[in-house]
Structure formats: structure tokens, C-alpha cells
Amino acid sequence: MEIQADRPKLFNEFYYTCKASDGYKVVFSWNEIFNTEVGNNIFIVTEQNGVRAKEMMDRIQLVSKSDISKGRRYVENLSEIIVNRVE
């Protein structure tokens, strides 16, 4: 998906909500993903040790490896990523 903005500064207004099937949510800002080391270390895991997501107990996972507190933005059973804009 590509986000469209008339001016580059408008990208500062976007954020991503990553939601698990049980309702758990984590949030990343556009700047955090594209302008920090955190963004270089966000992974969506669809296969682990040769086992595909549909066969894994936790299905699709989202992991943020650069967070200081480990685990808070770890999403098991990722069901959707919602893109919003701050108004």
C-alpha cells in the first residue's frame, strides 16, 4: 500500500495500528517506522524454522526488536494493519 500526501510534511500525521485477532493493538508512527532504527527492526514473521504461518500456533507475528522494553509491541496472530491520519 502506498500512502499519498500532497507535501512530505503530511507523512508526519500518519500512524499504523497493528491489531491481533484477540483485539490487542500496538501503534507505530510513520516517522518511527521510516526515520528511526526502530523501523529497521520491525518484522512480520510468516514462517519460523521452516514452519509456515498457517501451521504455526501463533500464526502471523509482528516483532519490534529495537524497543527498549521487550514484548510490549510483540503481536501474535496479527490480523490487520490499519493506517490512520491524525486530524
What is the strand order of the sheet 25-29 is part of? Answer: 25-29, 14-20, 78-85
Q: Model confidence over 31-82: pLDDT tens digits? A: 999 999 999 999 998 888 887 877 777 788 888 988 887 778 889 899 999 9
Number of neighbours of residue 78 by Cβ within 10 angstroms:
22
Q: Is residue 47 part of a domain?
A: yes
Q: Is 14 domain-assigned? A: yes
- Mapping DSSP to helix (H, G, I), strand (E, B) and coil, where does residue 77 land? coil
Residue 12 belongs to domain spanning: 8-85
Number of domains in the chain: 1
Q: What is the pTM of this model?
A: 0.82
| Strand bridging mode 51-52 / 25-29 | unpaired
The pLDDT tens digits for 11-39 are 889 999 999 999 999 999 999 999 999 99
Burial call 47-57: b when 16+ CB within 10 Å, e when fewer = eeeeeebeebe
